Structure 1
Amino acid sequence: MKPKIKIGVVSDVVCPWCYIGKRRLEKAMHELSGKFDFEVEYFPFELNPQIPASGLNQKEYLAKKFGGEERYQQITGNVTTTAAREGLKFDFASQNVSPNTRNAHRLIQLAKEDNNHVALVEALFKAYFTDGTDLSKNENLVKIAEQAGMDKVKVEQFLQSDTGIVEIEMAERELQQIGISGVPFYIINNKYGISGAQPSESFIKAFEEIATAPVTTDGGEACDVDGTNC
């Protein structure tokens, strides 16, 4: 029987390095699928909790956050190029709205009830970064959730309620209390931490060493709360 490695992923669905990190992690898990079984669970982190429910103009908001349009173009160009190397298509030009992601995180928690939340995370990433979908609109969240295999009526009713808000807030506070201030962040077997969108090789090395010694890695690219990266 293969050893099981549990991976807790702290991320936000509008964090480009979280999507890039997801692909790198998946490549590492595929590479080691003959040695280990993997269990992945996503946890909430809101990079921009102050954004109103209706969202903000994406380019204006991020340009102001990054320190100007030139810096905005530099950062988005960099992550788009990096994403392409991982087989991902980022289209910042089609993203008109920077959303508040509270409802997206609530849906991810709901999807855990049917063991479907990893598929939903992927669908939300693709909708935002590739398709330019406005995640501030509930009807778009419903459509994305349905495409990921969730029940449409259940999702519609859920989004009309306040269910899950307290749980999201509690989870975020707990993660902040253990020192997580940027994403992606990976918690391995509830014991070891890996910060940033590490190359797949770094994940492979960590997983292979995890049973014998504490693992430390230099921080990879990440989105942080001070707003200078993404």
Structure 2
Amino acid sequence: MSPLPVTIDVVSDVVCPWCYVGRARLMKALAAVPEIAVELRWRPFQLDPTIPPEGKDRQTYLMDKFGDEERIHQMHAQIDELGRAEGIDFAFDAIRTSPNTLNAHRVIRWAATAEPGVQDKLVGRLFALYFEEGANIGDPAVLIQAARDAGMDAAVVETLLATDADRAEVEQEIATAQQMGVTGVPCFLLEGRYAVMGAQEADTLADAIRQVAQAKAEGALDSSQA
């Protein structure tokens, strides 16, 4: 393993299908560079923070946003195909509610303080719940169970969710990402300065990781401008 791990901050939203595809490709990229130690951190973004806490009817929301059932069908068909190639079985018809994801991001934030790998496991579980099982990931009960599945202390999560704990901090993180120029997700930020935008192919991500790891090992990152 590399003595100098590469940090990857993934800015994403758990209701973004491209982010789910991006995570699958990132996992392939990491498998392709086993010699490089990677510290993976998931960062929040909200595609639509205006959705109320209780969520919106999914079909109504999509029609209000895109206005055309055929256009919606075509978008879903395109993502379906990409998902299958990455081992994802999108079930868009099963989704009944478009949720507000702020609480999901709060739980993801708390997962970062758990054992290594728990945060990524939670993110993967939330993606699967929403896109493959049609679960409402704005529902506190769903979030608590997802936290339990990922290995978190569900009782602590339940207690914190009932408060405003870390709400302002998550909102500030989202604002910071926007100020940095992140307008779409996923965004893979390597060592806090090199951004790979969009659900890039695994080979592209792996190459970026290798290049940054080499630059870090050579000390080039220390003298370069962020």
Contact 1:63-1:71 within 8 A present in 2 as well = no
* TM-superposed deviation, 1:203: 0.9
Q: How big is each residue's C-alpha offset from its partner over 1:17-50, in whole Å with a ceiling of 9 and x where there is no partner? A: 00100010110110111x2111100000000100
- Calculate the TM-score normalised by the size of structure 1: 0.89
For residues 36 and 15 of structure 1, what CA distance do their matches in structure 2 show?
A: 28
Of 168, 171, 177 in structure 1, the residue corresponding to residue 170 of structure 2 is 168
* TM-superposed deviation, 1:209: 2.1
Correspondence 1:40 to 2:59: no
Give the aligned partner of residue 142 of structure 1: 144
For residues 206 and 134 of structure 1, what CA distance do their matches in structure 2 show?
A: 35
Q: How big is each residue's C-alpha offset from its partner over 1:95-129, in whole Å with a ceiling of 9 and x where there is no partner? A: 00000000000000111111321111111001000
Q: How big is each residue's C-alpha offset from its partner over 1:147-190, in whole Å with a ceiling of 9 and x where there is no partner? A: 11111211111110000101011111111111001000010011
* TM-superposed deviation, 1:136: 2.1
Q: Equivalent residue of 1:182, what SS?
A: coil
Give the aligned partner of residue 153 of structure 2: 151
Give the aligned partner of residue 125 of structure 1: 127
In the TM superposition, 1:8-87 aligns within 5 A as 8-33=9-34, 35-87=35-87
- Calculate the TM-score normalised by the size of structure 2: 0.90
Contact 1:44-1:105 within 8 A present in 2 as well = yes
Name the structure where helix makes up a greater proportion of residues: 2
Q: Percent identity?
A: 38
* TM-superposed deviation, 1:208: 2.2
Q: Equivalent residue of 1:114, what SS?
A: coil
* TM-superposed deviation, 1:207: 1.8
For residues 113 and 145 of structure 2, what CA distance do their matches in structure 1 show?
A: 19
Q: Equivalent residue of 2:39, what SS?
A: strand
Contact 1:91-1:132 within 8 A present in 2 as well = yes
Give the aligned partner of residue 95 of structure 1: 95
Extract unaligned runs of 5+ from structure 2. 222-226
Q: Equivalent residue of 1:113, what SS?
A: coil
Give the aligned partner of residue 193 of structure 2: 191
For residues 69 and 86 of structure 1, what CA distance do their matches in structure 2 show?
A: 26
* TM-superposed deviation, 1:191: 1.5
Aligned residues: 213
Extract unaligned runs of 5+ from structure 1. 215-230
Q: Equivalent residue of 1:17, what SS?
A: helix
For residues 161 and 150 of structure 1, what CA distance do their matches in structure 2 show?
A: 18
Contact 1:6-1:39 within 8 A present in 2 as well = yes
| CA RMSD between the two structures | 1.4
For residues 110 and 207 of structure 2, what CA distance do their matches in structure 1 show?
A: 33
For residues 177 and 111 of structure 1, what CA distance do their matches in structure 2 show?
A: 25
Q: Match of 1:175, as an amino acid?
A: A
Give the aligned partner of residue 224 of structure 2: none
